[in-house]
Chain A
Amino acid sequence: NAGVTQTPKFQVLKTGQSMTLQCAQDMNHNSMYWYRQDPGMGLRLIYYSASEGTTDKGEVPNGYNVSRLNKREFSLRLESAAPSQTSVYFCASSEGDTQYFGPGTRLTVL
Chain B
Amino acid sequence: GAVVSQHPSWVICKSGTSVKIECRSLDFQATTMFWYRQFPKQSLMLMATSNEGSKATYEQGVEKDKFLINHASLTLSTLTVTSAHPEDSSFYICSARPQDNEKLFFGSGTQLSVL
A and B associate: no
